[in-house]
Amino acid sequence: MKDFDVILIGAGVCGCAIARELSRYSLRTCVLEAEEDVCCGTSKANSAIVHAGFDAPPGTLMSRLNVEGSQQMERLSKELDFPYRQNGAMVLCLDPKDLPVLMRLQKQGEQNGVQGLRLLSGEEARAIEPNLSDEVSACLFAPTSAILCPFLLTIALAENACTNGVSFFFDTRVKKIDRDSSGGWIVQSEHDAFHAKIVINAAGVYADDIHNLVSEDPLRIVARRGEYKLMDKEASSFVSHTLFQLPGKMGKGVLLTPTIHGNLLAGPTAEDIADKEGTCTTSSGLDELSR
């Protein structure tokens, strides 16, 4: 049995960020990852946006961590040498009747501590983003929104944690978790057993499975598949900001954003699915993004 102070389950961006933070302390920390490398799940396939924080309900943990994370990301990019660019975001309003939605988002963002939020008219919006449709009547401009490379961020976090002494175990899928007589935890995979005083669940979409190994109050995470359309770098000059629709019940909706690598990214769709491994693309998803 391998003995540690802290066991982290999951080597996505959250798990690797926690591992890096813990590596600053005199702790024996390990990360258990079911896949063959870091960043093999949602952390590698997303919009790659550092959200400003105006869309989270005020007073929630999400609102606080979103804004704090946004404020820290530029410094972190310099410390760990991953690409980052503060390009700003625009939430577009096509119907003047929806202007109160933008005003609510602005007020909400200001309550959360987001800096620099401004309401722009359609003309002002087109002045900084000339290819916007004439149908855009107003927008909420968030200058602190940014883009980065999510997999290079996660790799950099993991490498720094590893350099500072954190142990990573790959192809190590957790099968069982038990309490021991000392109040610690025994975490078992197919091939190894690990012991620690503290276990941190950072298993992403599978965090419910880990939770249900130890809790009598079961959780269920419903996976939501999002498909994207990645455009050629020849289209990179079409927009410079991240463009959002007004948010709906399924989230922020389809967006258009430049990537840190010089492409344009459109998406995601939003489809609740039963199979957490169902990450395939679909013709219906492509059709939706091509409209």
Strands of the sheet containing 6-9, edge to edge, are 167-169, 29-32, 6-9, 198-201
**pLDDT value at residue 247:** 82
160 CB neighbour count, 10 Å cutoff:
18
Express each pLDDT in 200-216 by its tens digit.
Answer: 999 999 999 999 999 99
Tokens at residue 205, please? Answer: 């979409």
2-44+151-212 and 49-148+223-290 share one fold: no
- Nearest-CA neighbor of 141 among 261, 61, 240? 240
Domain extents for the chain?
2-44+151-212, 49-148+223-290
For this structure, is 241 an active site residue? no
pTM equals 0.94
What is the Cα–Cα distance from 51 to 172, expressed in whole angstroms? Answer: 32
CA dist 115 → 51, 53, 71, 233 (Å): 12, 10, 10, 31
Per the DSSP assignment, residues forming a β-bridge with 32 are 9, 169
Task: Please give the CATH number for the structural domain made up of 49-148+223-290.
Answer: 3.30.9.10
Can you give the pLDDT of all 291 residues of the chain as single tens digits?
999 999 999 999 999 999 999 999 999 999 999 999 999 999 999 999 999 999 999 999 999 999 999 999 999 999 999 999 999 999 999 999 999 999 999 999 999 999 999 999 999 999 999 999 999 999 999 999 999 999 999 999 999 999 999 999 999 999 999 999 999 999 999 999 999 999 999 999 999 999 999 999 999 999 999 999 999 999 989 999 999 999 866 566 789 999 999 999 999 999 999 999 999 999 999 888 987
Express each pLDDT in 22-48 by its tens digit.
Answer: 999 999 999 999 999 999 999 999 999
Catalytic hit among 51, 191, 195, 241: 51
Query: What class does CATH assign to 2-44+151-212?
Result: alpha beta
